[in-house]
């Protein structure tokens, strides 16, 4: 199988996404169910990893 579109950008509602790699929702247990600096940092690190 050739995955020719996975790393190409796509525009959705005026927002350009750099690739078509998605990260699904999941539980982390960071922050104990509330928004915390650690939880924000976790998501920032995931975003820097290249997920569109």
Q: Quick check: is 5 in a domain?
A: no
Asked whether the whole model's pTM tops 0.85, one would answer no
pLDDT in tens, 7-49: 899 999 999 988 888 878 888 889 888 899 999 998 888 888 7
Q: Quick check: is 1 in a domain?
A: no
- Which has more pLDDT, 6 or 3? 6
Q: Quick check: is 22 in a domain?
A: yes
What per-residue confidence (pLDDT) applies to 25?
80
The Cα–Cα gap between 17 and 14 comes to: 10
The Cα–Cα gap between 40 and 16 comes to: 22
Q: Which domain holds residue 16?
A: 10-48
Q: Quick check: is 4 in a domain?
A: no
Q: Quick check: is 2 in a domain?
A: no
User: 3-state DSSP call for residue 20?
Assistant: coil
Asked if pLDDT for residue 1 goes beyond 80, the answer is no
- Which has more pLDDT, 52 or 3? 3
Q: How many structural domains is the chain composed of?
A: 1
E strand residue ranges, the chain: 10-12, 15-17
What per-residue confidence (pLDDT) applies to 47?
82
């Amino acid at each position: 199988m050739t995955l020719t579109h996975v790393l190409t950008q796509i525009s959705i509602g005026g927002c350009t996404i750099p690739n078509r790699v998605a990260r699904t929702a999941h539980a982390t247990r960071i922050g104990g169910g509330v928004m915390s600096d650690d939880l924000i940092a976790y998501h920032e690190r995931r975003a820097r990893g290249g997920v569109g």
